[in-house]
């Protein structure tokens, strides 16, 4: 199957994403318009306290018009960060106040491959030390703590539907069984 991009047009440049429209030549020889959301990348942490509870954040998400329960995460700072581990450590500290003594890669995901190239690298953070949150002016985040089984149940019941959170928590559960982490 041969697919070829003929052109790419920037439709809108945003603060987090850029929206493009591509003109593509498809296998039957015709052309088609395809949308692309270009994202600079993100990082997240499955942060586990010494007592085994996972550190979660509850915040309002405009796209869903409601609060969600998620693992700490955020985008790479434009022009400042290329390293997702640094971004994950920064986001953990900013959103929760925790600093991790140990951070290791857990897995990487692409969130919506049909139209967006957002990649999130998810890390396991352990050896947590509590500090204070350092939220952005427009950021309001509540920190909550859960047992792994509580979170798995919430995923099963459809109470947690955020893809990075589901992937991170389920991968952590697998990690506990196999001690295998993404490298």
Strand 119-130 and strand 42-48: pairing?
Answer: parallel
CA distance 136 to 94: 8
Which residue matches tokens 């550190």?
A: 55
- pLDDT value, residue 18: 94
Read off φ and ψ for residue 150, nearest 5 degrees. Answer: -65, -45
Residues 99 and 150 in one domain: yes
pLDDT tens across the length of the chain (183 residues): 799 999 999 999 988 889 999 999 999 999 999 999 999 889 999 999 999 999 999 999 988 899 999 999 998 876 666 689 999 999 999 999 999 999 999 999 999 999 999 999 999 999 999 988 777 777 788 999 999 999 999 999 999 999 999 999 999 999 998 876 555
Same domain, residue pair 154 and 136 = yes
Number of domains, the chain? 2
* 107 falls within a domain: yes
- What is the rounded radius of gyration, in angstroms, for the C-alpha atoms of the chain? 18
Question: Does residue 8 fall inside a structural domain?
Answer: yes
Q: DSSP secondary-structure letter at 31?
A: E
DSSP 25: E
Same domain, 154 and 132: yes
| 24 and 56 both lie in a single domain | no
Q: Is residue 76 part of a domain?
A: yes
- For residues 88 and 166, membership in a common domain is answered with yes
Asked if residue 73 lies in contact with residue 153, where contact means CB atoms within 8 angstroms, the answer is no
Contact of 79 with 153, CB cutoff 8 Å: no
Q: For residue 48, what is the domain's CATH number? A: 3.90.79.10
Q: Could you tell me if 30 and 53 lie in one domain? A: no
Spatial neighbors of 68 by CB under 8 A, at least 6 apart, are 58, 59, 61, 160, 161, 162, 165
Structural contact between residues 44 and 87, judged by C-beta atoms closer than 8 angstroms: no
Start-end of H helices in the chain: 84-96, 148-156, 163-178
* 97, 30: one domain: no
**101 domain-assigned:** yes
**Catalytic residue annotation:** 137
Query: Quick one: 30 and 68 in the same domain?
Result: no
Same domain, 100 and 11: no
**Domain containing residue 69:** 41-111+119-178
Tokens of 158: 């459809």
In a domain, 183, yes or no: no
**Are 107 and 83 in a shared domain?**
yes
Minimal CA–CA distance to 24: which of 40, 8, 4, 38?
A: 4
């Amino acid at each position: 199957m041969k697919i070829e991009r003929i052109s790419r047009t920037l439709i809108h440049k945003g603060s987090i994403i850029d929206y493009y429209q591509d003109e593509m030549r498809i296998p039957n020889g015709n052309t088609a318009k395809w949308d692309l959301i270009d994202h600079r990348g993100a990082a997240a942490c499955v942060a586990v306290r010494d007592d085994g509870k996972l550190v979660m954040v509850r915040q309002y998400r405009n796209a869903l018009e409601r609060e969600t329960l998620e693992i700490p995460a955020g985008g790479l700072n434009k022009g400042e960060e290329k390293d997702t581990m640094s971004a994950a450590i920064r986001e953990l500290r900013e959103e929760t106040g925790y600093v991790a003594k140990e951070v290791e890669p857990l897995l990487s995901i692409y969130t919506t491959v049909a139209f967006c190239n957002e990649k999130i690298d998810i890390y396991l953070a352990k050896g947590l030390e509590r500090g204070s949150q350092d939220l952005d002016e427009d950021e309001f985040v509540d920190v909550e703590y859960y047992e792994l089984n509580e979170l798995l149940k919430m995923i099963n019941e459809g109470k947690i539907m955020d893809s990075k959170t589901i992937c991170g928590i389920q991968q952590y559960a697998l990690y506990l069984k196999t001690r295998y982490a993404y490298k």
